[in-house]
């Protein structure tokens, strides 16, 4: 009995020592101080460097031990979860925390991706927090990608023309200039190497073959006769060479505009009616009060506010023009949101003047100026262009004399303004020169009959020619 106990104790000691040797063999830096030869205790490895190797021993049960390694697995799982949590908290930084990523921002609920149009900064430039470094072009607006923190733009990880989605990395920003210094020095070295003259040995080698060529006898080769140019038939057109043509991809905004306008032609039964407006009284009103208007409201009095007020009055008199077809139903809108077509270098955008029926002349002019400036600068948002129940397009600013505008879906009509031209008109039996403007109304003939369309355009003519009608509501 006593001999059996000695052999059991010896076997426990040998197993513990064998385990220590195995741990040292796998990871020399791992200390085995946590391994106990006591049968009543469990095997624990307290050093974090040995955690990955403890798994190899977790199913091992020493001879004579009946206790498992549950606590070891708990320690490992807790440390692993802490590591994962630390990594997830640094999703946009590098290992040392000096680098941060500039990512594509949220572009709107109806926009899933965009095209990286242009870079506003170069690698090595210093940027401030929230400063735009790139622009993304979408179907509707241009969105800026801003720097998340102050620092130096280290590199771009995307190229111009790439399709990007919200959350994609665009650039890497270094909080300090250390990450950019090596790249800058390398560029300087390459420039210096390129500026150095070539060694003289190369010139000597080049001179030798020239001398051989001079001494070699010249042999004249018979000139090959070039074939005569093909004769063109009288009916074959002469096309310009391909070298004089350029092919460039369409921008997203241009493709979107083209699609919507073509869909409008395919959907609506469009018809256009015309009229002409005598601008004498509206121009006199503007001339008489323009200085007082600017002094009080801080904005110039233009013609657009007069036409917006006239359109509001016409829509109130003919509410069917403010309605729209939706399937088998007609939706009557009890609000008046006027869309103003604005031409920008990148394409046509249509910002909306909300609740135009509740605005005065000054509020309309301020809103139009603000929206037009944002559209030209490319900073207009999607919300400022969404909706709208009626559109006004002023082609007169470009010198258009007459046109047939296309309906902006899902609206049912659009008013076209044109240039003011002095023409002879009969007034009181006499022919006198008058500043005249042609106006056009394109409408959906499925919903709006010719009678309502003519009355609508006539109402605009009456209000513009005599703005006092707005005060008297007649």
Residues recognised as catalytic: 445, 449
Structure tokens that stand for 380 in this block: 């207009």
Task: Give me the long-range contacts of 89-93 (CB less than 8 A, separation at least 24).
Answer: 92/148
Cross-strand pairs, 116: 136
In contact, 171 and 102? CB cutoff 8 Å: yes
CA 28 to each of CA 23, 37, 50, 231: distance values in angstroms, whole numbers, following the listed order: 8, 20, 10, 88
């Amino acid at each position: 009995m006593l001999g059996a106990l000695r052999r059991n104790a010896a076997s426990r000691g040998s197993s513990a020592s064998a385990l220590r040797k195995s741990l040292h063999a796998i990871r020399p830096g791992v200390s085995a101080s946590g391994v106990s030869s006591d049968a009543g205790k469990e095997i624990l490895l307290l050093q974090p460097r040995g955690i990955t190797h403890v798994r190899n021993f977790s199913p091992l049960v020493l001879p004579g031990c009946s206790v498992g390694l549950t606590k070891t697995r708990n320690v490992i799982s807790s440390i692993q979860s802490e590591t994962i949590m630390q990594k997830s908290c640094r999703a946009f930084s590098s290992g040392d925390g000096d680098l941060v990523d500039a990512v594509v921002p949220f572009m709107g609920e109806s926009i899933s991706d965009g095209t990286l149009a242009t870079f506003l900064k170069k690698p090595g430039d210093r940027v401030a927090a929230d400063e735009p470094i790139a622009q993304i072009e979408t179907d509707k607006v241009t969105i800026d990608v801003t720097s998340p923190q102050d620092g130096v733009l280290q590199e771009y990880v995307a190229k111009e023309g790439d399709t990007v989605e919200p959350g994609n990395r665009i650039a890497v920003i270094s909080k300090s200039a250390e990450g950019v210094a090596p790249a800058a020095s390398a560029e300087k070295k390459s420039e210096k190497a390129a500026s150095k003259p070539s060694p003289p040995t190369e010139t000597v080698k080049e001179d030798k073959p020239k001398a051989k060529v001079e001494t070699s006898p010249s042999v004249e080769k018979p000139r090959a006769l070039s074939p005569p140019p093909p004769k063109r038939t009288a009916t074959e057109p002469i096309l310009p060479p391909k070298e004089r043509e350029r092919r460039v991809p369409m921008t997203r905004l241009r493709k979107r505009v083209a699609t919507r306008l073509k869909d409008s032609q395919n959907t609506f039964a469009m018809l256009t009616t015309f009229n002409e407006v005598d601008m004498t009284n509206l121009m006199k009103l503007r001339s008489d009060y323009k200085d007082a208007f600017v002094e009080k409201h801080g904005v110039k009095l233009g013609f657009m506010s007069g036409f917006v007020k006239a359109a509001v009055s016409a829509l109130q008199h003919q509410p069917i023009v403010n309605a729209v077809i939706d399937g088998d139903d007609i939706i009557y809108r009890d609000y008046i949101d006027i869309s103003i077509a604005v031409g920008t270098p990148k394409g046509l955008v249509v910002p909306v003047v909300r609740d135009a029926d509740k605005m005065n002349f000054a509020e309309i002019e301020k809103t139009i100026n603000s929206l037009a400036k944002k559209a030209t600068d490319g900073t207009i948002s999607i919300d400022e262009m969404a909706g709208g129940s009626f559109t006004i397009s002023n082609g007169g600013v470009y010198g258009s004399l007459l046109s047939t505008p296309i309906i902006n879906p899902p609206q049912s009509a659009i008013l076209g303004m044109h240039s003011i031209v002095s023409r002879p008109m009969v007034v009181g039996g006499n022919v006198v020169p008058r500043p005249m403007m042609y106006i056009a109304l394109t409408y959906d003939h499925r919903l709006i009959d010719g009678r309502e369309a003519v009355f609508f355009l006539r109402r605009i003519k009456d209000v513009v020619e005599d703005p006092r009608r707005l005060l008297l509501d007649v």
